[in-house]
Amino acid sequence: MASLTWSLVCFRLDLLKAMVAAGHKVVAFAPDHDPGAIATLREIGVGFVQIPMARTGTNPLTDLRTVLALYRELRRISPDTVLSYTMKPIVYGSLAARLAGVPERFALFTGFGFLFGGRTGGWRVTAIRRLSIALHRLALVGVKAAFAYNDADAQDIRRHTMVGDGTPLVMLDGSGVDLDRFTAQPPPAGPPTFLLVARLLRDKGVCEFAAAARVLKRTFPHARFQLLGPFDPSPLVIAKSELDGWVEEGIVEYLGETRDVRPYLTASTVFVLPSYYREGIPRSALEALAAGRAIITADTPGCRETVREGENGFLVPARDAEALAVRMEAFLRDETLAARMGARSRRLAEERFDVHKVNAGLMQALGLNRQLDDATIPPRTDRHTA
């Protein structure tokens, strides 16, 4: 159960394949109609149900409609197991599954975004934070296990008693990355290129990236600073006028958005993500690791998981454009540094973030890794998973 249909293909395709290969009937739930993603799911044998859900809204009537729609669909298909990930699906999917009598329910926390991101935001953000914690406590009563990507998230889950003390909290190395799809290549010849891949949110460090680029362009006019990613309905989004101003100033290049980041990683020298958004473990950084790119990222929960300081990249303080510029400058002064660190990034991806290893651990924790033996068991549907 996801908050965006494309994420089922982008982040969970290998997991869904593993579920189907183990003999389970799998149905995916998400709110938007994405014909390409839905077709891909059907190709691997995964059903799809579209549900009404506002990803960023706070209208209680809309959220109630989401719970009721999920409840009806779960009663209809009667799954044995429900796995929900990202915040709204965790709350409303788990609550609906509990009401529908689904026996095994799991919650996968992929990051807390602005909820625990250090942004005060006044009374509104405080109220949303308190309400979200209360809803998690209500919805996650009786879940069989919860999953987290980093220690800070795990500590917040426990500190705010979002799950019961007796509920196992299993740590995962992010969503993993397909090491065959993302292959390592040396940085290209030509001007050094720094690439930030993210939704265009302020908390992703986009403004700090632009500020650092402005400083470095004065001394290194040949350097390139690229932004790749979509605008977002969140109130934290960068205004198009602000982005246009950076482009007109000549400090950044905006590449738009894409569903295949590989060509852009190949054309880059260093991957940059100065995010303080409270990532789980950012998928964009995992893909950069696998592609053999040095990483500069913020010393914040989730992001710091992708860097061994001084080996495959650098960590910088959050919201510190000056420190970011200093670390970026190191690659401009030493033309061999990006290749050396990039090779170590690839090794880190192989050691820790292989998607098949990550999914094997998740499947085991879900109790879904029982492979059917076609020689002794006739073809049939095993556990029904949503």
The predicted-structure confidence for 213-270, as pLDDT tens digits, reads as follows 999 999 999 999 999 999 988 778 899 999 999 999 999 999 999 999 999 999 999 9
For residues 377 and 320, state if they share a domain: no
In the chain, the number of structural domains is 2
Q: What is the dihedral of CA 94, 97, 102, 106, to 10 degrees?
A: -20
**Containing domain of residue 347, as a range?**
193-352
Residue 117 lies in a domain: yes
* pLDDT for 374 beyond 60: no
For residues 337 and 363, state if they share a domain: no
| CB neighbour class for 264 (10 Å; exposed up to 12, middle 13-18, buried from 19) | middle
* pLDDT score, position 71: 96
Residue 349, CA atoms < 13 Å, CB-side half-sphere: 32
* pLDDT for 54 beyond 90: no
Count of CB atoms situated within 10 Å of the CB of 293:
29
Handedness of CA 320, 313, 248, 221 (dihedral sign): positive
For residues 55 and 84, state if they share a domain: yes
Phi, psi values for residue 48, rounded to 5°: -140, 135
Count of CB atoms situated within 10 Å of the CB of 122:
8
Amino acid at 319: R
Count of CB atoms situated within 10 Å of the CB of 197:
25
For residues 47 and 167, state if they share a domain: yes
Residue 183 lies in a domain: no
For residues 90 and 143, state if they share a domain: yes
* pLDDT for 279 beyond 80: yes
- Counting other chains too, the contacts that 304-313 makes at CB distance below 8 Å and 24 or more residues apart are 305/149, 305/150, 305/173, 305/174, 305/281, 306/281, 306/282, 306/348, 308/344, 308/348, 311/341, 311/344, 312/341, 312/342, 312/344, 312/345, 312/347, 312/348, 313/270, 313/341, 313/345
Taking Cα atoms as reference points, which of 199, 352, 331 lies closest to residue 270? 331
For residues 142 and 270, state if they share a domain: no
Residue 187 lies in a domain: no
For residues 364 and 334, state if they share a domain: no
Residue 184 lies in a domain: no
- Within 8 A by CB and 6+ apart from 313, the residues are 270, 294, 295, 296, 297, 306, 307, 341, 345
What is the longest distance spanned by two Cα atoms in the chain?
A: 70
Q: Give the lowest-confidence range in 38-52, 179-193, 271-285, 364-378.
A: 364-378
Residue 186 lies in a domain: no
* pLDDT score, position 375: 31
For residues 336 and 371, state if they share a domain: no
CA distance 318 to 157: 22
* pLDDT score, position 382: 39
Its pTM stands at 0.91
For residues 152 and 224, state if they share a domain: no
Amino acid at 31: P
Digit-coded pLDDT (tens) for 193-220: 999 999 999 999 999 999 999 999 999 9
Residue 44 lies in a domain: yes
Count of CB atoms situated within 10 Å of the CB of 375:
5
User: What percent of the chain shows pLDDT beyond 90?
Assistant: 83
Residue 63 lies in a domain: yes
Query: Mean pLDDT over residues 47-68, rounded?
Result: 83
Residue 218 lies in a domain: yes
* pLDDT for 175 beyond 90: yes
Q: CATH code at 86?
A: 3.40.50.2000
For residues 249 and 381, state if they share a domain: no
Burial 159-196 (b: 16+ CB within 10 A, else e): ebebbeeebebbebbbbbbebeebebeebeeeebbbbb
For residues 23 and 135, state if they share a domain: yes
Q: How are strands ordered across the β-sheet holding 81-85?
A: 46-50, 25-30, 384-385, 81-85, 104-108, 145-148, 169-171
For residues 233 and 296, state if they share a domain: yes
Digit-coded pLDDT (tens) for 333-355: 999 999 999 999 999 999 999 99
Handedness of CA 350, 354, 360, 361 (dihedral sign): positive
